[in-house]
């Protein structure tokens, strides 16, 4: 009987380790969450009010780029641009939409032929953005976030 008491006593002392709750610090949880976090994807892309009726993420993204592209192209077509040689090339525009919905043009990559034939092309593109409708920012996990994206614009002038 004495051996049973000793065995139960030893078992009780060693089994207490299983009841200890392991405490995890908030920093460890944050670090683990940040490792699984996809920084290159957002839940809702930036959008214009005309794209609000669309439900699918890809359709909203396509609508946003279509509205932006068509707005810039319509503005450029409304301006008298005179060239000496036919120009068909692509301009790459890098945009940023802030958390408040402010659209800003970060960079314009244009071929030297376009810059030579249309020296004020950069000013025209900047001016076209002044009359854009309100942009709603991207959303990641319920928070408005800053996003950057590139948009190719095909210029065809003759």
pLDDT-derived band of residue 136, with 50, 70 and 90 as boundaries?
Answer: very high
What per-residue confidence (pLDDT) applies to 94? Answer: 94
Do 112 and 80 lie in one domain? The reply is: yes
Question: Which has the closest alpha carbon to 106: 78, 129, 87, 137?
Answer: 129
Q: Are residues 94 and 68 in the same domain?
A: yes
What confidence tier does 38 reach under pLDDT thresholds 50, 70, 90?
low
Share of residues in the chain with pLDDT > 90 (%): 19
CA dist 134 and 49 (Å) reads 7
Q: Is residue 16 domain-resident? A: yes
Q: How many independent structural domains does the chain possess? A: 2
Give the pTM.
0.71
What local confidence, expressed as pLDDT, does residue 26 receive?
73
Whether 31 is in a domain gets the answer yes
Best CA proximity match to 76, nearest among 111, 117, 125: 125
Residue with more model confidence, 32 or 62 = 62
User: What are the Cα distances from residue 98, in Å, to 46, 103, 121, 130, 139?
Assistant: 9, 7, 24, 16, 11
Q: d(Cα 6, Cα 60) in Å, to the nearest integer?
A: 71
Range of the domain at 133: 47-157
Mean pLDDT computed over 76-80: 85
Residue 23 backbone zone (phi > 0: left; psi -120 to 50: alpha; other: beta): beta
What is the pLDDT confidence band of residue 79, given thresholds at 50, 70 and 90? Answer: confident
Q: Is the model's pLDDT at 96 over the cut of 90?
A: yes
Same domain, residue pair 28 and 60:
no
User: Does the pLDDT at position 81 exceed 70?
Assistant: yes
Residue-level pLDDT at 33:
66
> What number of other Cβ atoms are within 10 A of residue 114's Cβ?
20
pLDDT at 89 over 90: no
């Amino acid at each position: 009987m004495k051996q049973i008491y000793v065995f139960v006593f030893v078992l009780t002392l060693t089994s207490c380790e299983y009841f200890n709750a392991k405490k995890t610090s908030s920093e460890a949880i944050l670090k683990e969450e940040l490792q699984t976090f996809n920084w290159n994807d957002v839940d809702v892309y930036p959008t214009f009010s005309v794209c609000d009726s669309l439900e699918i993420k890809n359709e909203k993204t396509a609508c946003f780029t279509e509205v932006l592209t068509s707005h810039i192209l319509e503005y450029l077509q409304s301006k008298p641009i005179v060239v000496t040689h036919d120009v068909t090339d692509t301009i790459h525009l890098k945009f940023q939409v802030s958390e408040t919905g402010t659209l800003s043009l970060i960079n314009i990559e244009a071929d030297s032929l376009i810059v030579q034939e249309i020296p004020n092309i950069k000013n025209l593109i900047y001016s076209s953005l002044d009359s854009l409708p309100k942009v709603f920012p991207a959303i990641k996990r319920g928070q408005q976030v800053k996003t950057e994206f590139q948009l190719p614009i095909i210029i065809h002038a003759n």
